[in-house]
Amino acid sequence: MNYLDKYRLYLLLECGFSANTIEAYLRDVTRFLTWAEEGGLDALQVTLPHLHDYTWTLHECGLAASSLSRALSSIRSFYRYLTLEEYIAQDPTELLSNPKQGEHLPDVLTVAEVDAILSAIDLSQAEGQRDHAIIELLYCCGLRVSELCALTLDALYLDDGFLRITGKGSKERIVPIAPHAVEELRLWFAARGEIDIKAGEEDYVFVSARRGRHLSRITVFHNIKQYVAAAGIQKVVSPHTFRHTFATHLLEGGASIRAIQVMLGHERLRTTAVYTHLDRRYLREQVLAHFPRNKR
C-alpha cells in the first residue's frame, strides 16, 4: 500500500472527512506529487523552498487565492500524516503560509471570450489575418508579447509543431504549437508575401502592412484593446492575459504543472532536472491532450 492509499484511510478513519472532501484532498496532493516526481524530487525529500516554488507556480498558472489555500491545506494535511507516521522527521509545511485572499490575479478569458475576440477581427483587412495569428500564438503557445514581437522565421519549425523562443535573459526554450495555430500562421504568410518589407526586417514573422517593419509591443497592446472592445468584453485584457489564460486552461484540463512551467519559460525552478525529464514529445502531448482548442 503506497503513501496515498494509507493517507486516504487516515482521512477517512481518523479525520472523518466526507467522500467528496477526501477526493479533493487526494486530487490536490496527487497533483503536487506529480509535480515533484517530474522534477526528480522524492516526496520524502520535499523542503520549504520546494513548497514555495510550487505555490508560486500555481499562482502563475492562474489558481485563485481561495483555491490555492485549499491546495496548500491538502498538502499540509498530507505532510502532517507523514510526520505522524514517522515517514519523515520534520514537517516541511510548518512555516508554509497561505496567500493573501485579496491578492490580485490577472483576468482569465473563457474559450468563448477568446473566440469572440478572434471573431471581432476583420479578415478582409490587410492586417486582419496577422492579428488573428498573433492572438492564436499568444493564447495557444503562452508567449510573452516581447517574445512574439521578436519572433523570427528561422525560429519556426511548423512541420514538426514547435517554436524556438528566446525569453528573458536570452534563454531559449522549445514551445509546442498546435495544428490550429500552425494553420493561422500559414494563412498569415500568404498575406505577408504581398507586403513590401523594409530591408533588415525580412526575418521577423509579424510585420506592419503599412510600415513594412516588425511590430512593437505597443502596437500589439493597442490592437488587442480594440478587438476586446469590439467583442463587448468588459475584462481588462492585455497580451499577458492570453499567456495567463493558456496556463490556466492547461492546468484546468489536467496538464502537468512541470510541463506548463517549461512551456512558459519560468526560471524559478529549484529542481533543474525538469529540463532533462521533460522532452519535446511529452510537451507536445500535453498541449494536444489538455488544451481546449485541441479538443474540438
Give the count of beta carbons closer than 10 Å to the beta carbon of residue 191. Answer: 18
Rounded Cα–Cα distance for residues 104 and 169 (Å): 27
Rounded Cα–Cα distance for residues 115 and 231 (Å): 9
Q: Give me the residue label for grid cell 512555516.
A: 95
Rounded Cα–Cα distance for residues 72 and 145 (Å): 31
To the nearest 10°, report the CA torsion of 18, 19, 24, 28. 100
Q: What are phi and psi of 140, to 5 degrees?
A: -85, -15
From the list 27, 87, 157, 168, the catalytic residue is 168
From the list 210, 222, 235, 275, the catalytic residue is 275
Alpha-carbon distance values, 220 to 12, 47, 69, 268 (Å) = 53, 41, 35, 27
From the list 240, 277, 280, 282, the catalytic residue is 240
Whether 144 is a known active-site residue: answer yes
From the list 132, 144, 192, 244, the catalytic residue is 144
With CA atoms as reference, report the closest residue to 172 among 67, 262, 45.
262
With CA atoms as reference, report the closest residue to 227 among 113, 145, 118.
118
From the list 243, 258, 290, 293, the catalytic residue is 243
Whether 275 is a known active-site residue: answer yes
Task: Decide: 96 and 48 in contact? Cβ < 8 Å.
Answer: yes
How crowded is the C-beta side of 148, counted as CA atoms within 13 Å?
30
Whether 290 is a known active-site residue: answer no
From the list 192, 214, 258, 266, the catalytic residue is 266
Dmax (CA) of the chain: 73
Whether 235 is a known active-site residue: answer no
* Contacts with 250 (C-beta within 8 Å, 6 or more apart), sequence order: 61, 259, 260, 286, 287, 290, 291
Whether 104 is a known active-site residue: answer no
Whether 211 is a known active-site residue: answer no
H helices present in 61-164, as ranges: 65-84, 111-119, 128-141, 145-149
Residue numbers annotated as active site: 144, 168, 240, 243, 266, 275
